[in-house]
Structure 1
Amino acid sequence: MNFIDLRVAKPLLNALEDLEYVYPTPIQQKCFRRITSGVDVVGIAKTGTGKTLAYLLPILSQLEYSNQKNPRVIILVPTRELVVQVCEEAEKISKYKSVRIKGVFGGVNINTQKDYVFDDGADILVGTPGRLYDIAVTGVIRFSNVKKIVIDEVDEMLSLGFRPQIEQIFEMLPNKRQHLMFSSSLSENVEEFIKSYFNSPEKIEVDVESTPVEKIKQTFFPVQNFNTKVEFLKVLLSQKDEFIKNLIFVADKRQADLVFDKLSSEFEDLGIIHSNKSQNYRFNTIKNFEKRKIRSLIATDVVARGLDFSDISHVINFSVPENASDYIHRIGRTARAGKTGISILMYAPYEEKYFEEIKKIAGENTKEESFPQGIPKIDCLLEFEKPAFTHKQITKAPDISKGGGAFHEKRNINTKQKRKKRK
């Protein structure tokens, strides 16, 4: 089946042809007619399966020209990077169609974004939940004309605590609306959220549990601590002919900065993104990574979630994720479009319990290696690596019956003894 068979609108077909998109992915194929029929849809698919187009194509196919300023479609995503990515994707495929697409997110002046949205209006408004709600309550835009609302990466949004803002936005929408939700997984929180707001949704699942891990060569290395991991990473990144485009995952922002500070002087083609970096810095870093000006990118799970990077040669798990499913999500950034990929995981002693869970779901294309010889081993531990000091807990109350009495009793005895001596 191709896009013509799906009955995609002619202007969109022309744009797809320009982009050399001929065949829809499974999630796009399964979602198109269900979404255009008007039913609530829950799409479960991993990043890289084409789920952004899975909802954009049917929405744009049905969206007719209008000069009203208020949006008719709202798309909620968890991060500012995803706002930009969804807007760019929508603009590409609506190239031959008159559609106003606007994106809003935190980290910039809200008055500037209010003017931007109000200026000539928006047909499709993409945003992070907090900023979208903050703009809406000012009255600059109204949601009375919204026909469809998309919640993308809903599992991530719920884990980040965005549910209150999403619910506040729902309260501002007309009762009659279509809900479209896309997620990488179907957790209990997501299931409960669906039951609360969706009207008998149709679930469309595409290879949720069959991420092509067998196409990914996975190698596990025991590494004694953080600083030794840095030395190991130096050796890997020095092999430029092999490590062509690398995505390096770390546990948090602090560790990301530490790794970058230790390696950036030696590797000028190293980049970093996390939530403390300014929006312009993050946007430029991502663009330079895609243009191969940056060869290796250090990222946290939260910021990288949902971003679609092309042609990743290696995924390096510098830190072991606490959730085994996050590991599958990480390594799925390589081996795209039928290609093979390589994943390397370094685990320290304090990460072994998480590593054991990963081994259970990693598939058969795995290999455990010894720590390579010739790489310096650094004994210095960082604070978070040191064993936690615990106070001795008293589980049984002391027997005071055998003691020498209370303090005031002892004091009285001592006083009597002193008086006898004086006599």
Structure 2
Amino acid sequence: MDGARGKYSKRTPEGEFGISTAKTFRDLGLSDEVCRAVEEAGYKTATPIQEKSIPHVLMGKDILGTAQTGTGKTAAFLLPMIDVMAQGVSKPRMPRALVLEPTRELAAQVADSFDMYAKNSKMTRALVIGGLGAKEQEADLDGICDIIIATPGRLQDMFDRGLIMLRGIQFFVIDEADRMMDMGFIPDVERIVSLLPKQRQTLFFSATMPKPIRKLADKFLTEPREVEVAPPASPAETVEQRRLFVRGDAPAKRAALRKLIDAENVRNALIFCNRKSDVKLLLKSMQSHGYDAVALHGDMDQVDRMATLEKFKTNQARYMVCSDVAARGLDIQGLSHVFNFDVPFNADDYVHRIGRTGRAGQRGKAFMLVTAKEQKALDAIHTLIRKEIPEVDGMGADLSADAPAEADNKDDAAPADEKDETAAEDKPKPRRRSRRAKSDEEPQENKAASKSAKSDDESKGSKGGSKSKPAKADDEAKESEEAPASGSSGTRSLPNGDGDRRETRAPAPRKSGSRGDGNTPQGMGDHMPAFMKRPLREKQA
């Protein structure tokens, strides 16, 4: 076992950002018009997935691509498609390319990328997604449309209404195929594939490649070229990953998140929750504490979702609390941080979440808040990414690898609110005071009452003996605690006038000179009934 990495071995991706052998887009064989548009967008060299995919697409080969999010998959299929399609002409209502995306946000983002890369050509596109007005989308389809970017549900609706024909498709792209499977779209995808011509070029991309996805690819692809620039489900090397252990539940997590955000230099951040209800609660909490936050989740209609996303992209809001609807494909320029408020149920989703930062070679940070209940999900993530995520304290500072130091710093990782709740548990219990100490701290009036219950001689002896005979002092201290203010030594007075008859230790034998000596029956005290004082009479025979 490698001591530096624990029980997980590190896998090095085949291609990384910043490699010295990176090629320009002109080196890949793209036209001048496409290269100019890419350069104007600010990109100079191709990423590994683009470098490996574009030449095969230009040669007309099917592609089976695997790469982590944020590596430029969108440009890897759009750029060569634009280059090839610019040489032909589409027919009315017969697009030549179809791109299927699992979510509306990702489809809208691909449409924006197409507008940017195809601005030097006369090609047109149609965005066909649910949640938006159908009339505008029908208008885009009515006429010449070169490429359709769609989600499966709305595309089938348009086809069933006779608004679109798919027999002219030359390029078919399935993006984020593993996400399609997670969302239950595979039957829809299979139906759409049955409507396409058999002679087509299919580009199949997925961030992970489990066996069901590979089996699906075998059905759709013909002699594909496999492109893998990183092992499946491996996070980008440009993302710095950290985890924070939190004691407590949601309230403690919210306090820990605020503390961590304040300690970090956050330019903008996505905050992921597992449930839509948690998104709403966290948003309300952050806004009440003065953070400019917005929310994005599946219960919002498409107009509100796009407006929220635009607000966040234009820096009108600094934090966006979201569910996994935003975990795939969203490209937020310069996103500095990703916070996982919850450990994702599915380990693969962790890779997609943190893939929103550290994109296109930039650096990013990803923090995950973990409670004891989420340890099993955390272990699944460690197994998937083949390494342990380093732990930090509440201020984001790395904890020492030594176990004792790490244990000492656990308190620092706990949020302030949580420390208040657990202070009583962590505080050491006070030591029991000795009887002698209790006797010394007894109020003065109790001492006076205790002294009045004894003779003057005993009081003097007790005072002298307390210094010379510790055992005797302990007995006297006990007697002084148990003696009531009235001076009676046998019982304690209760509110109803009765004596306290609870069983205790046997009473100490009475000393000579004390009140009650003589023929007083043992245990009766000073309150002997009158009938017991009468002399006994012998019964006459």
Question: Matches of residues 190-339 of structure 1 in structure 2 within 5 Å?
Answer: 190-209=213-232, 210-213=234-237, 216-239=240-263, 242-339=265-362
In structure 2, the CA distance between the partners of 1:191 and 1:217, relative to structure 1 (3 Å rule), is closer
Give the Å deviation of 1:67.
5.0
Give the Å deviation of 1:379.
11
Question: Are residue 108 (structure 1) and residue 149 (structure 2) matched?
Answer: no
Sequence identity of aligned pairs in percent?
Answer: 33
Question: Matches of residues 399-414 of structure 1 in structure 2 within 5 Å?
Answer: none
Question: Are residue 121 (structure 1) and residue 157 (structure 2) matched?
Answer: no
In structure 2, the CA distance between the partners of 1:130 and 1:215, relative to structure 1 (3 Å rule), is closer
Equivalent in the alignment of 2:177: 154
Counterpart residue identity of residue 349, structure 1: A
Q: State the distance in 1 between where 2:339 and 2:294 align.
A: 14
Q: State the distance in 1 between where 2:65 and 2:221 align.
A: 13
Give the conservation status (yes or no) of the 8 Å contact 1:237–1:243. Answer: yes
Give the conservation status (yes or no) of the 8 Å contact 1:213–1:363. Answer: no
Q: State the distance in 1 between where 2:176 and 2:159 align.
A: 22
Give the conservation status (yes or no) of the 8 Å contact 1:247–1:298. Answer: yes
Q: Deviations over 1:381-403 (max 9, x none)?
A: xxxxxxxxxxxxxxxxxxxxxxx
Give the Å deviation of 1:215.
5.0
Question: Are residue 179 (structure 1) and residue 220 (structure 2) matched?
Answer: no
Q: State the distance in 1 between where 2:238 and 2:391 align.
A: 12
Q: State the distance in 1 between where 2:257 and 2:29 align.
A: 49
SS in structure 1 opposite 2:418? coil
Question: Which piece of structure 1 moves more, 320-329 or 160-169?
Answer: 320-329
Counterpart residue identity of residue 257, structure 2: L
In structure 2, the CA distance between the partners of 1:105 and 1:215, relative to structure 1 (3 Å rule), is closer
The ranges of structure 1 where at least 4 consecutive aligned residues each deviate by more than 6 angstroms after the TM superposition are none
Give the conservation status (yes or no) of the 8 Å contact 1:216–1:342. Answer: yes
Counterpart residue identity of residue 92, structure 1: M
Aligned residues: 378
Give the conservation status (yes or no) of the 8 Å contact 1:65–1:98. Answer: no
Question: Given the two structures, how large is their TM-score scaled by the length of structure 1?
Answer: 0.84
Question: Aligned match of 1:46 in 49, 68, 88?
Answer: 68
- Unaligned runs of 5+ residues in structure 1 are 381-423
Question: Matches of residues 328-407 of structure 1 in structure 2 within 5 Å?
Answer: 328-360=351-383, 361=385, 363=387, 366-367=390-391, 369=393, 370-371=410-411, 372=413, 375-377=416-418
Question: Which piece of structure 1 moves more, 45-54 or 212-221?
Answer: 212-221
Q: State the distance in 1 between where 2:246 and 2:386 align.
A: 16
In structure 2, the CA distance between the partners of 1:256 and 1:215, relative to structure 1 (3 Å rule), is closer
Give the Å deviation of 1:329.
2.6
Equivalent in the alignment of 1:97: 121
Question: Which piece of structure 1 moves more, 98-107 or 344-353?
Answer: 344-353
Q: State the distance in 2 between where 1:234 and 1:350 align.
A: 21
Q: State the distance in 2 between where 1:215 and 1:80 align.
A: 26
In structure 2, the CA distance between the partners of 1:352 and 1:91, relative to structure 1 (3 Å rule), is same
In structure 2, the CA distance between the partners of 1:77 and 1:53, relative to structure 1 (3 Å rule), is same
Give the Å deviation of 1:300.
1.4
Equivalent in the alignment of 1:7: 29
Give the Å deviation of 1:213.
4.8
Equivalent in the alignment of 2:40: 18
Counterpart residue identity of residue 50, structure 1: G
In proportion to residue count, which structure has more strand? 1
In structure 2, the CA distance between the partners of 1:96 and 1:189, relative to structure 1 (3 Å rule), is same
Give the conservation status (yes or no) of the 8 Å contact 2:129–2:154. Answer: yes
In structure 2, the CA distance between the partners of 1:103 and 1:215, relative to structure 1 (3 Å rule), is closer
Q: State the distance in 2 between where 1:373 and 1:146 align.
A: 57
Considering Cα pairs closer than 8 Å and 6+ residues apart, tell me whether 1 or 2 has the greater RCO.
1
Give the conservation status (yes or no) of the 8 Å contact 1:213–1:332. Answer: no
Question: Are residue 144 (structure 1) and residue 167 (structure 2) matched?
Answer: yes
Give the conservation status (yes or no) of the 8 Å contact 2:24–2:46. Answer: yes
Give the Å deviation of 1:41.
0.7
Give the conservation status (yes or no) of the 8 Å contact 1:273–1:297. Answer: yes
Equivalent in the alignment of 1:415: none
In structure 2, the CA distance between the partners of 1:325 and 1:6, relative to structure 1 (3 Å rule), is same
Give the conservation status (yes or no) of the 8 Å contact 1:236–1:243. Answer: no
Counterpart residue identity of residue 377, structure 1: E
Question: Which piece of structure 1 moves more, 343-352 or 53-62?
Answer: 343-352
Q: State the distance in 2 between where 1:347 and 1:254 align.
A: 19
Q: State the distance in 2 between where 1:140 and 1:161 align.
A: 25
Question: Given the two structures, how large is their TM-score scaled by the length of structure 2?
Answer: 0.66
Q: State the distance in 2 between where 1:304 and 1:203 align.
A: 25
Question: Aligned match of 1:37 in 55, 59, 76?
Answer: 59
Give the Å deviation of 1:115.
3.0
Give the conservation status (yes or no) of the 8 Å contact 1:216–1:343. Answer: yes
Give the conservation status (yes or no) of the 8 Å contact 1:110–1:135. Answer: no
Equivalent in the alignment of 1:383: none
Higher radius of gyration, 1 or 2: 2
Give the conservation status (yes or no) of the 8 Å contact 1:270–1:297. Answer: yes
SS in structure 2 opposite 1:95? coil
Counterpart residue identity of residue 232, structure 1: A
Q: State the distance in 2 between where 1:101 and 1:378 align.
A: 56
Counterpart residue identity of residue 417, structure 2: P
In structure 2, the CA distance between the partners of 1:137 and 1:207, relative to structure 1 (3 Å rule), is same
Q: State the distance in 2 between where 1:10 and 1:20 align.
A: 15
- Unaligned runs of 5+ residues in structure 2 are 1-22, 394-409, 422-541
Counterpart residue identity of residue 48, structure 1: G
Give the Å deviation of 1:358.
2.4
Question: Aligned match of 1:71 in 89, 95, 99?
Answer: 95
SS in structure 1 opposite 2:106? helix
Question: Aligned match of 1:84 in 108, 116, 119?
Answer: 108
